[in-house]
């Protein structure tokens, strides 16, 4: 299960821990132990990412991930993937305790991971509430709500967490880097906008998955922008077709996106 879900991606989040740490230490020599600990934290971020993707694929009814079947789609797995996702996340705490319990920053590190776990779960809740709860109403899809959802669901664990881990490993206090937090959150929003665009217009052979944001009625950047730019007729087309799996409905939505110059 771990071999199937943890490796295989671009490893950007895990490598960000190492890259950030090496930049912080560029004036001093990094010994093998410190470099190894940076690698451990990098893999912890990748384990958290794997857990998030397992849950995401189930809630989105996704089919492929990283050029392979989603874990829950395997005949021998099914909904037991829910427990596997929990197991992946729980292992992170065990790994951190094993390698860092004697470090002076151990409690701060654990507090960071607990906080990020809560924020990510809140982001997932916002996504689920927006997508699956109540009557479908595209008028609710506004940039303020989109940014709030992305901030919690993506930015904190994908951008802030790797850098924060590197700072703690280097002996820094996170309270001294509040502005850095804000910058990393904005980077996460930019990243998610790119991801939303590729979900719709990217080549599945390149991005490693079949995008389903339109079919799943997702609050993506594209639909948020379209709702701000569309005229009355385009708005009618979006409301009639968004959230439907019929290929003709999906094509109709994409055509509106193109008319609004959202495809570049």
Least-confidence region, from 14-18, 167-171, 201-205, 255-259:
201-205
Per-residue model confidence (pLDDT) at position 94: 93
Domain extent listing, the chain:
2-199
Overall pTM > 0.95: no
**What's the whole-number average pLDDT of the chain?**
90
Per-residue model confidence (pLDDT) at position 242: 93
Contacts of 199 (CB under 8 A, 6+ apart): 207, 211, 212, 213, 220
Backbone angle region of 120, left / alpha / beta, with phi > 0 → left and psi within -120 to 50 → alpha:
alpha
Q: How far apart are the first and last CA of the chain?
A: 38
Burial, 26: exposed, middle or buried (Cβ in 10 Å; 0-12, 13-18, 19+)? exposed
Report whether pLDDT(253) > 80: yes
Summarize the confidence of residues 77-104 as an average pLDDT. 92
Contact 207, 261 (CB under 8 A): no
Tokens of 61: 């009814």
Report whether pLDDT(209) > 80: no
Query: Using CA atoms, how far apart are residues 150 and 191, in angstroms rounded to an integer?
Result: 10
Q: Which residue has the tokens 């690698």?
A: 39
Handedness of CA 155, 157, 159, 164 (dihedral sign): positive
Quick one: which of 257, 263, 264 has its CA closest to 234?
Answer: 257
Summarize the confidence of residues 184-203 as an average pLDDT. 93
Handedness of CA 23, 26, 27, 32 (dihedral sign): positive
Per-residue model confidence (pLDDT) at position 137: 83
Give the DSSP H/E element, type plus range, for residue 68: strand 68-69
Per-residue model confidence (pLDDT) at position 264: 76
Percent of the chain predicted with pLDDT > 90 = 62
Summarize the confidence of residues 239-247 as an average pLDDT. 91
Tokens of 10: 């671009």
Strand partners, 68: 65
Quick one: which of 176, 60, 54, 166 has its CA closest to 109?
Answer: 166
CATH assignment of 2-199, among 3.40.50.2020, 1.10.150.530, 1.10.600.10, 3.40.50.2300: 1.10.600.10
Structure confidence by residue, pLDDT tens digits, 135-185: 678 888 999 999 999 999 999 999 999 999 999 999 999 988 988 999 999
Report whether pLDDT(222) > 60: yes
Confidence of residue 190 (pLDDT cuts 50, 70, 90): very high
Handedness of CA 26, 32, 33, 36 (dihedral sign): positive
Per-residue model confidence (pLDDT) at position 63: 80
Structure confidence by residue, pLDDT tens digits, 113-144: 999 999 999 998 898 888 766 567 888 899 99
Per-residue model confidence (pLDDT) at position 134: 57
Strand partners, 65: 68
Least-confidence region, from 70-74, 228-232, 233-237:
70-74
Report whether pLDDT(220) > 90: yes
Per-residue model confidence (pLDDT) at position 56: 82
Contact 193, 160 (CB under 8 A): no
Structure confidence by residue, pLDDT tens digits, 56-86: 888 877 788 887 888 889 899 899 898 998 9
């Amino acid at each position: 299960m771990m071999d199937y879900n943890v490796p295989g991606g671009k490893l950007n989040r895990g490598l960000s821990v190492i890259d950030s740490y090496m930049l912080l230490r560029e004036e001093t020599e990094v010994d093998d132990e410190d470099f190894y600990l940076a690698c451990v934290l990098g893999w912890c971020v990748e384990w958290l990412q794997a857990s998030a993707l397992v849950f995401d694929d189930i809630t989105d009814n996704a089919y492929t991930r990283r050029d392979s079947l989603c874990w829950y789609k395997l005949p021998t797995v099914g909904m037991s993937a829910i427990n596997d996702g929990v197991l992946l996340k729980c292992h992170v705490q065990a790994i951190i305790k094993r390698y860092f319990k004697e470090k002076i920053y151990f409690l701060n590190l654990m507090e960071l991971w607990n906080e990020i776990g809560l924020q990510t779960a809140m982001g997932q809740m916002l996504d689920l509430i927006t997508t699956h709860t109540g009557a479908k109403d595209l008028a609710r899809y506004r940039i303020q709500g989109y940014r709030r959802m992305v901030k919690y669901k993506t930015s904190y664990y994908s951008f802030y967490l790797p850098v924060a881990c590197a700072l703690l490993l280097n002996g820094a206090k996170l309270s001294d880097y509040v502005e850095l937090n804000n910058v990393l959150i904005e980077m996460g929003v930019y990243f998610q906008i790119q991801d939303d665009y590729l979900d719709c217009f990217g080549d599945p052979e390149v991005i490693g998955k079949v995008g389903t944001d339109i079919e799943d009625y997702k609050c993506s950047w594209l639909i948020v922008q379209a709702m701000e730019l569309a005229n009355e007729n385009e708005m009618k087309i979006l409301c009639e077709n968004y959230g439907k799996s019929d290929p003709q409905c999906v094509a109709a939505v994409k055509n509106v996106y193109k008319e609004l110059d959202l495809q570049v």
